[in-house]
Structure 1
Amino acid sequence: MAEQRSMSIRVPLLARVEGEGALEMDIQDGALAGLRLRIFEPPRFFEKFLEGRAFHEVPDMVARICGICPVAYQMSAVHALESIFGVDPGPWVRVMRRLMYCGEWIESHSLHIHLLAAPDFLGYANAIEMARDHPLEVRRGMALQALGNDLIRLLGARSVHPVGVRVGGFHKAPAMDEVERLRERLRAALPEAQALIVWAASLSMTDHEQPFTCVAMRHDSAHYNEYPMNEGRIVSDRGLDIGIAQFDQVFTERQVPHSTALHCELAGEPYLVGPLARINLNRDRLPSVVTDVLRATSIDFPSHNPHHSIVARAAEVCYALWEALRILDAYVVPDAPFVEVEPRAGIGFGCTEAPRGLLWHRYETGDDGSIRSARIVPPTSQNQARIEQDLRLSLENYGLHHSEDELRMVGERVIRNYDPCISCATHFLKLKVRRS
Structure 2
Amino acid sequence: MSLEKIVKVDYVPRVEGQGELKIKVRGDMAEVEFVIYEPPRFFEAFLIGRKFNEIHELTSRICGICPVSHQLAALKAVENAMKVEVSDLTLSLRKLLHMGSHIQSHVLNLYLLAAPDYLGYESIIPMAKDRLEVVKRALRLKKLGNDLVELIGGRAIHPVSTVVGGFTEIPSKRAFDSMKSRLMEAREDAVETVRFVSKFNYPNFERRCEHVALTKDGEYAINDGRLRSTEGLDIREEEYRARIKEEQVDYSWAKHSTVVGRGSYLVGPLARVNLNFKSMTDLTKSVADEVGFKPLCYNPFKNLVARALEVLNLVDTSVEVISNLNLRNERVTEREFKPKEGEGYAIVEAPRGVLYHAYGFDGEGRVKWADIAPPTCQNARNIEEDLKAFVPKIAKMNTGDIALRSEMLVRAYDPCISCSVHAQLTS
Distance, in Å, in 2 between the alignment partners of 1:33 and 1:176 is 57
CA contact (8 A) 1:93 1:338 kept: no
Residue pairs, 1:329-368, within 5 angstroms = 329-338=323-332, 340-368=336-364
* Structure 2: gaps of 5 or more residues: 423-427
- The alpha-carbon deviation at position 407 of structure 1 amounts to 1.3
Aligned to 1:286: 280
- The alpha-carbon deviation at position 26 of structure 1 amounts to 2.6
Question: Match of 2:291, SS?
Answer: coil
Aligned to 2:123: 126
Aligned to 2:241: 248
**CA distance 1:374–1:408, change in 2 (3 Å):** same
Question: Match of 1:214, SS?
Answer: strand
Distance, in Å, in 2 between the alignment partners of 1:325 and 1:337 is 23
- The alpha-carbon deviation at position 96 of structure 1 amounts to 0.4
2:53 aligned with 1:56: yes
RMSD, aligned CA: 1.6
CA contact (8 A) 2:12 2:21 kept: no
Aligned to 1:415: 410
Aligned to 1:236: 229
Distance, in Å, in 1 between the alignment partners of 2:202 and 2:332 is 47
Residues 13-59 of structure 1, C-alpha deviations (whole Å, 9 max, x = no match): 2221000011112345x454521110111110111111101111111
Aligned to 2:366: 370
Q: Which residue, 389, 398, 402 being the options, matches 1:403?
A: 398
Distance, in Å, in 1 between the alignment partners of 2:142 and 2:40 is 29
Residue pairs, 1:307-322, within 5 angstroms = 307-322=301-316
Question: Match of 1:209, SS?
Answer: coil
Distance, in Å, in 2 between the alignment partners of 1:80 and 1:175 is 28
Aligned to 1:35: 32
Q: Which residue, 292, 296, 300 being the options, matches 1:306?
A: 300
Aligned to 1:271: 265
Residue pairs, 1:105-124, within 5 angstroms = 105-124=102-121
Q: Which residue, 91, 99, 102 being the options, matches 1:102?
A: 99
CA contact (8 A) 2:25 2:391 kept: no
Deviates more, 1:87-96 or 1:195-204: 195-204
Distance, in Å, in 2 between the alignment partners of 1:85 and 1:228 is 24
- The alpha-carbon deviation at position 176 of structure 1 amounts to 2.5
Distance, in Å, in 1 between the alignment partners of 2:10 and 2:208 is 31
Aligned to 2:425: none
Distance, in Å, in 1 between the alignment partners of 2:61 and 2:140 is 24
Residues 277-316 of structure 1, C-alpha deviations (whole Å, 9 max, x = no match): 0010010111101111111112222211112111111111
Question: Match of 1:265, SS?
Answer: strand
CA contact (8 A) 1:89 1:338 kept: no
TM-score (ref. length: structure 1): 0.93
Aligned to 1:20: 18
Residues 380-433 of structure 1, C-alpha deviations (whole Å, 9 max, x = no match): 11000110011111111112x322211111111111110000110019xxxxxx
Q: Which amino acid aligns with 1:299?
A: F
Aligned to 1:297: 291
- The alpha-carbon deviation at position 136 of structure 1 amounts to 1.2
* Structure 1: gaps of 5 or more residues: 428-436
Q: Which amino acid aligns with 1:19?
A: G
Deviates more, 1:417-426 or 1:159-168: 159-168
Distance, in Å, in 2 between the alignment partners of 1:209 and 1:40 is 29
Distance, in Å, in 1 between the alignment partners of 2:327 and 2:279 is 28
Q: Which amino acid aligns with 1:378?
A: P
Aligned to 2:318: 324
Distance, in Å, in 2 between the alignment partners of 1:308 and 1:9 is 24
Distance, in Å, in 2 between the alignment partners of 1:10 and 1:218 is 38
Residues 36-91 of structure 1, C-alpha deviations (whole Å, 9 max, x = no match): 11011111011111110111111111110110101110111111111111111110
Tell me which of the two structures has the higher relative contact order, counting C-alpha pairs closer than 8 angstroms and 6 or more residues apart.
1
Aligned residue pairs, count? 419
Aligned to 1:184: 181
Distance, in Å, in 2 between the alignment partners of 1:9 and 1:384 is 18
Distance, in Å, in 2 between the alignment partners of 1:8 and 1:34 is 10
Identity of aligned residues (%): 37
CA contact (8 A) 1:17 1:421 kept: yes
Deviates more, 1:9-18 or 1:83-92: 9-18
Aligned to 1:163: 160
**CA distance 1:246–1:109, change in 2 (3 Å):** same
- The alpha-carbon deviation at position 8 of structure 1 amounts to 5.3
Question: Match of 2:232, SS?
Answer: coil
Residues 198-242 of structure 1, C-alpha deviations (whole Å, 9 max, x = no match): 2211221112121111000111x3xxx110010000000111111
Q: Which amino acid aligns with 1:296?
A: E
CA contact (8 A) 1:93 1:337 kept: no
TM-score (ref. length: structure 2): 0.95
Q: Which amino acid aligns with 1:25?
A: I
Aligned to 2:146: 149
CA contact (8 A) 1:76 1:361 kept: yes
Aligned to 2:80: 83
CA contact (8 A) 2:347 2:357 kept: yes
Aligned to 1:173: 170
Deviates more, 1:236-245 or 1:333-342: 333-342
Question: Match of 1:296, SS?
Answer: helix
Q: Which amino acid aligns with 1:355?
A: P
